[in-house]
Amino acid sequence: MALALWFSATAVLPSLKAEFTFSDGHAALLSSSVAVGFVCGTLISAILGLSDRAAPRRLFMYSALTAAAANAAILLLDPTSFSVVAMRFITGACMAGVYPVGMKMAATWAKKDTGLLVGLLVGALTIGSAFPHLFNAAGGVDWRFTLGATSVLALGAALMVNFVTLGPALAMRSRFEPAAILKAWSNKPLRLANLGYFGHMWELYAMWAWIGLFLHASFLARAEMSASDAKLYANLASFAVIGVGALGCLLGGLFADRVGRTTGDYGGDGHKRFLRPCWPARYSVLILGCCCCCAWFGASRWSPIQRSSRPRSLNFPNRATLAPC
């Protein structure tokens, strides 16, 4: 519920651009500032050890409340001002106290089903990221409905987390060790996993941030479709495209528990000499790469924007600036 705040502003960008006048760079900042805030928030949380020092439920609650307030504050500000970008940055920073902490709380109940629990939580992140598009479709042309609804969801999450019971596997407090940053690079299996995850997050969040704008422009370019219908279909399609990933998260978690996450070769000393992902991960990455290539080729070759005979001003933001940091 709280993670619905992540793309709340991105989902209403077409409506904002129709009502207000601001540059493509400002539109891109409304999306990318959340990712920048999340990165800064996670770094601060790791350095200060907030997830270990503070009670997980309290940290989750205060983070969700602050994020909900920052998101709702946009309703009182001029969308063309930099203050709105600052509010989106604060929202992203507060997500560092929601998503990782939520995963930590879920892991306290893990026994032999860690993959399933993580899959459920990441699936919740996926559905939460898709909800703003559904709210935008239900709210008609008023972008304020989407921002208000997502803030209410985050408020509900902040209240409900107090009823969560932590499991017996709650990790003990640990100190921040700067040397661990070097280990993340010197350890080859860990380095490859981090680089792979970095690349995956780059393309995933770039797609999530861009797909709503692309679909809206594509439907709008069809001569037989009205502007209101184009907005409705674009929001519904965006919700479906993003939300279907929750099913993949659940299945991936089940596969991880039953098939395993990695395979390796043991040396005579009993230590693993190398690790490689099991076949579900390998084939998933291969299929994902093929889909990305096909999407890029299809969008550049057969986009309805290029075939449309009715000229329209689409004010489409620069794609490169939408990718998260």
Candidates 97, 94, 103, 108; CA nearest to 121 is: 103
Question: Over the range 254-264, which residues count as b (16 or more CB within 10 Å of their CB) and which as e?
Answer: ebbbeeeeeee
How many angstroms from the chain centroid is the CA of residue 151?
Answer: 16
Tell me whether residue 322 is in a domain. Answer: no
The reported pTM is: 0.73
Tell me whether residue 48 is in a domain. Answer: yes
Q: Which of 110-114, 241-245, 249-253, 315-319 has the highest mean pLDDT?
A: 241-245
CA dihedral 21, 22, 28, 32 (to 10 degrees): -110
Output the average pLDDT for the chain: 79
Tell me whether residue 176 is in a domain. Answer: no
Q: Is the pLDDT of residue 75 over 80?
A: yes
Residues 6+ apart with CB under 8 A from 32: 209, 321, 322, 323, 324, 325
Tell me whether residue 319 is in a domain. Answer: no
Written as one letter, the residue type at 209 is A
DSSP string, 300-316: HHH-HHHH-SS-----P
Average pLDDT over residues 89-108: 90
Q: What is the domain-level CATH number for residue 70? A: 1.20.1250
Share of the chain above pLDDT 70, in %: 80
- Classify burial at 153, counting beta carbons within 10 Å of its beta carbon; exposed 0-12, middle 13-18, buried 19 or more: buried
Tell me whether residue 282 is in a domain. Answer: yes
Q: Is the pLDDT of residue 13 over 50?
A: yes
The answer to whether 278 and 262 are in contact (CB under 8 A) is: yes
Predicted local confidence at residue 268, as pLDDT: 44
Share of the chain above pLDDT 90, in %: 20
Tell me whether residue 325 is in a domain. Answer: no
CA 97/CA 38 separation, integer angstroms = 9
Predicted local confidence at residue 211, as pLDDT: 85
Using pLDDT thresholds of 50, 70 and 90, give the confidence band for residue 82: very high
Using pLDDT thresholds of 50, 70 and 90, give the confidence band for residue 321: very low
Residues 6+ apart with CB under 8 A from 295: none
Residues 6+ apart with CB under 8 A from 264: 272, 273, 274, 275, 276
Predicted local confidence at residue 110, as pLDDT: 78
- The boundaries of the domain holding residue 58 are 2-165+187-262+273-313
Tell me whether residue 240 is in a domain. Answer: yes
CA 303/CA 298 separation, integer angstroms = 7
β-sheet bridge partners, residue 262: 277
Kindly state the tokens that stand for 279: 């076949």
Predicted local confidence at residue 38, as pLDDT: 92
Q: Which residue has the tokens 């969308």?
A: 79
Using pLDDT thresholds of 50, 70 and 90, give the confidence band for residue 313: very low
Using pLDDT thresholds of 50, 70 and 90, give the confidence band for residue 160: very high
Between 22-36, 180-194, 237-251, the lowest mean confidence (pLDDT) is in 180-194
Query: Domain count of the chain?
Result: 1
pLDDT digits (tens, 9 = 90+) for 230-281: 888 888 999 999 999 888 888 888 887 777 665 544 444 444 444 555 656 6
CA 253/CA 113 separation, integer angstroms = 8
